[in-house]
């Protein structure tokens, strides 16, 4: 039975890989429709032949890696279960100590190490790809440093989650999903507070924006958006990437306005103000709160569904998986497998909501800056810096894109009907 299952799973993965390759490299059409030819959304108007070729190559390979890496993760969890690896890790953990927290820590360490080792080849290929196409500027030691930080941050976070989750499973066998979700809510909000202050600085150096004249302009926009920020921060992302980005993170008094130094170097002040107005649009529209609320509601449904799915799967296939009940720590790979599948299945919905919010933020930026030229130049430079496809294939868009495509964003800017406003609202602070 185990041999049959493993062969079927491996063959299914190979077939999926061939289908995805055919779709991305042969079937899918990413050319711009004739109606957009010659407009600002036509990549031939702002990218040369070499850039167009590289963007197509890079995007196709990167998308292929994405669609292969997710089911590869499922394959790893499946094999860890059916070959008894998870059960072996549980036995080692139980022999280490009589304290549950230590048993969980030992089990999770071995599971995390094995998963890291098996996923590492795909992670390295992804890094090497971005390095080859000059998106990444990291040396291998720098990249490995970030991978190690990722490992330990994820390990520490998972240890807390797993310990609480399995404690709830033992204490509330039938309603553990509700109890776990009840604790998941404050934990999520807590992480939102500590992310910009404690976790982000582990990866990069943040420091106040050096250009004080630009900072004054950005803070003027922030004041209009009622964002409680006294400083604008820049971060030294040029050590890692040639891509451009900026964001507003955190909530309440922990809000931070952050600009990548690559953005400061390659965009004009007007273009930077458009980017910042877009990010502030998320704050004004309260997208972070709607996003968290939606995420928590979705997680409630997810916890409930997994509880039913997990119990039925163990009842039917527990012998093959070497798991007798869901409250065993050795059921964790099955739990993670189900979470990953549900996240993948729901991604078209969550990405669709995200694209709507990004469109609203673009609208806000257009209204607050009223600068079509800066908006167009910004989107075109973002496309070139990231070697992005202007018009990605449909499946790539719905499964991968949290933002509208550049075709949609550039077309929106060109056709945006700017309303007349009171001139006093365009007042800028004196430097």
234 has binding-site annotation: no
Instruction: For residue 8, give every residue at least 6 positions away whose Cβ sits within 8 Å of its Cβ, in sequence order, or none.
Output: none
DSSP, res 136: B
The sign of the CA dihedral 145, 55, 235, 364 is: negative
Cβ burial of 50 (10 Å; 0-12, 13-18, 19+) is exposed
Q: H-type helices in 83-175, by residue range?
A: 85-96, 100-132, 140-171
Contacts 24+ apart (CB under 8 A), 208-217: 208/232, 208/233, 208/234, 209/233, 209/234, 209/259, 209/264, 210/234, 211/264, 213/431, 214/264, 214/269, 214/272, 216/429, 216/431, 217/269, 217/273, 217/428, 217/429
Q: Where are the alpha helices (DSSP H) in 285-371?
A: 287-321, 332-369
Is 363 known to be catalytic?
A: no
Q: Which of 42, 279, 371, 408 is catalytic?
A: 279
The 246-249 sheet, strands edge to edge: 206-208, 232-235, 256-260, 246-249
Tell me: is residue 278 an annotated ligand-binding position: yes
Phi–psi pair at 136, nearest 5 degrees: -85, 140
Alpha-carbon distance of 244 to 325, in angstroms, equals: 48
What torsion do the CA atoms of 14, 19, 20, 26 make, to the nearest 10 degrees? Answer: 130
Lookup: tokens for 297:
């509601």
CA distance 254 to 388: 32
Helix (H, G, I), strand (E, B) or coil at 269: helix
Dist CA 243 CA 137 (whole Å): 10
Q: Residue 279 catalytic?
A: yes
Burial class (CB in 10 A: 0-12, 13-18, 19+), 424: exposed
Scanning the structure block, which residue is given the tokens 């048993």? 103
Q: Are 207 and 234 in contact (CB under 8 A)?
A: yes
In the set 362, 371, 402, 414, the catalytic residue is 362
CA 21 → CA 16, 58, 65, 365, 388, distances in Å? Answer: 8, 14, 10, 38, 18
CA atoms within 13 A on the CB side of 92: 13
Annotated binding residues for Zn(2+), written as ranges, equal 278, 282, 358
Question: Catalytic residue numbers?
Answer: 279, 362
Q: Which residues fall in the annotated binding site?
A: 278, 282, 358
């Amino acid at each position: 039975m185990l041999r049959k299952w493993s062969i079927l799973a491996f063959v299914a993965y190979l077939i999926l890989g061939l289908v995805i390759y055919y779709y991305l490299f042969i079937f899918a059409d990413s050319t711009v429709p004739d109606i957009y030819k010659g407009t600002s959304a036509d990549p031939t108007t702002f990218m040369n032949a070499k850039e167009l070729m590289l963007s197509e190559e890079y995007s196709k390979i990167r998308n292929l890696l994405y669609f292969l890496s997710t089911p590869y993760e499922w394959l790893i969890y499946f094999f860890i279960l059916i070959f008894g690896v998870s059960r072996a890790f549980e036995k080692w953990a139980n022999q280490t100590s009589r304290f549950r927290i230590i048993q969980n820590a030992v089990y999770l360490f071995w599971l995390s190490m094995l998963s890291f080792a098996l996923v590492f080849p795909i992670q390295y290929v992804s890094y090497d790809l971005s390095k080859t196409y000059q998106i990444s500027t990291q040396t291998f030691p720098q990249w490995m440093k970030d991978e190690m930080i990722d490992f330990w941050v994820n390990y520490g976070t998972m240890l807390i989650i797993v310990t609480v989750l399995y404690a709830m499973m033992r204490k509330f066998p039938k309603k553990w999903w509700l109890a776990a979700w009840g604790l998941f809510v404050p934990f999520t909000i807590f992480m939102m507070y500590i992310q910009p202050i404690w976790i982000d600085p582990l990866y990069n150096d943040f420091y106040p924006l050096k250009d004080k004249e630009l900072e004054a302009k950005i803070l003027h926009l922030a004041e209009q958006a009622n964002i409680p920020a006294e400083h604008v921060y820049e971060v030294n992302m040029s050590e890692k990437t040639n891509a451009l980005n900026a964001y507003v993170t955190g909530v309440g008094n922990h809000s931070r306005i952050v600009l990548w130094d690559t953005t400061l170097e390659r965009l004009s002040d007007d273009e930077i103000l458009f980017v910042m107005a877009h990010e502030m649009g998320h704050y004004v529209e309260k997208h972070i709160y709607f996003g968290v609320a939606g995420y928590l509601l979705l997680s409630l449904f997810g916890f409930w569904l997994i509880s039913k799915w997990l119990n039925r799967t163990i009842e039917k296939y527990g012998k093959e998986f070497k798991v007798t009940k869901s409250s065993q720590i050795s059921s964790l790979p099955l739990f993670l497998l189900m979470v990953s599948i549900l996240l993948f299945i729901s991604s078209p919905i969550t990405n669709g909501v995200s694209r709507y919010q990004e469109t609203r933020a673009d609208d806000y930026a257009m209204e607050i800056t009223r600068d079509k030229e800066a908006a167009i130049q910004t989107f075109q430079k973002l496309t070139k810096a990231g070697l992005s496809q202007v018009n990605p294939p449909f499946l790539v868009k719905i499964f991968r894109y949290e933002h509208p495509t550049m075709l949609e964003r550039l077309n929106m800017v060109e056709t945006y009907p700017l309303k007349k406003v009171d001139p006093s609202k365009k007042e800028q602070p004196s430097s």
